[in-house]
Amino acid sequence: MPSCISHAFVGACAGVAVSHDTPPRRLVLFSILAATLPDADVLAFAFRIPYDHLFGHRGILHSLSFAVLAGILIAWIFLRRRSTPWSAWPSSRNFPFLAMYFFLLIATHGVLDAFTNGGEGVAFFAPFTNERFFFDFTPIEVSPINLALFFGGRGEAILANELVWVWMPALGASVLVRILLIANRKRLHPRQVLYREPRPDPGSRMPSPQALMISQKTPNPGGRE
Ligand SMILES: [Zn+2]
């Protein structure tokens, strides 16, 4: 895998890129969680599940099927806030876009892993098949699962490699997405807004339910964000 730090960086870049105005910390945190979630399967080693097993590392948790299910689940958890209209799942207008966003973010994890030059391949199509895949081009230095090895000397070389092959492309892509969103801001229908932080009610730290209802239901009368 690229190091967890790099997967987290990709998540943070995505969260900042797709937010409107000030990036909401919650979306960035959820994006980091989604981008790193597939590596929870390293716990399989603690249960002596082999690397190449369906439930092993880079197995089903790195598959596209898992990305779909986890994307839906994370979007649902993200929107589920009691006492606000966000909790009105599945009627929330943002839900399909957020589910697609989290799906893409989780799927990107497996794609990055398939660009690494070590370990087993990625079981993209699990549970239907446990066949493991790498891309033909594998420029990303594989990161050791054992943290002692990572911090014991190889970490610097790995991070330098990931700076070129993960961090710079992630930054470039997030800047591009941000520019495209800003350029298309006037043309975007409110349903296409991926995430907008509810505007706080003046005089109170918490946004009022009325303000949230208005921000969700009024389709931008002036045509501006
Ligand atoms: Zn991974």
Å from CA of 40 to ligand 1 middle: 8
Is the pLDDT score of 2 beyond 60?
A: yes
Task: Write out pLDDT tens, residues 80-119.
Answer: 764 444 444 444 567 888 899 999 999 999 999 999 998 8
Question: What is the CA(57)–ligand 1 centre distance, in A?
Answer: 7
Q: What is the secondary structure of 129-157 as a DSSP string?
A: ----B--S---BPPPPSSHHHIIIIIHHH
The residues, any chain, with a CB within 8 Å of residue 39's CB and separated by 6 or more, are 1, 4, 7, 57, 61, 109
Quickly state the pLDDT bin for 136 (edges 50, 70, 90). very high
Mean pLDDT across the chain, nearest whole number?
80
Identify the CA nearest to 112 among candidates 7, 21, 217. 7
For range 155-175, the mean pLDDT? 91
Predicted pLDDT of residue 95 = 83
- 72 in helix, strand or coil? helix
Question: With 60 as the cut, is the pLDDT of residue 188 above it?
Answer: no
Between residues 159 and 197, the one the model is more confident about: 159
Q: Which residues line ion ligand 1, judged by CB < 5 Å?
A: 1, 39, 113
CA of 61 to the centre of ligand 1 (A): 9
Distance 117 CA to ligand 1 centre (A): 13
**Residue extents of the structural domains in the chain:** 4-217
CA of 63 to the centre of ligand 1 (A): 10
CA of 81 to the centre of ligand 1 (A): 30
Average pLDDT over residues 176-196: 69
In angstroms, the CA 109 to CA 120 distance is: 15
What pLDDT score does 222 carry?
47
Q: pLDDT tens digit string along 32-86?
A: 999 999 999 999 988 999 999 999 999 999 999 999 999 999 998 888 764 444 4
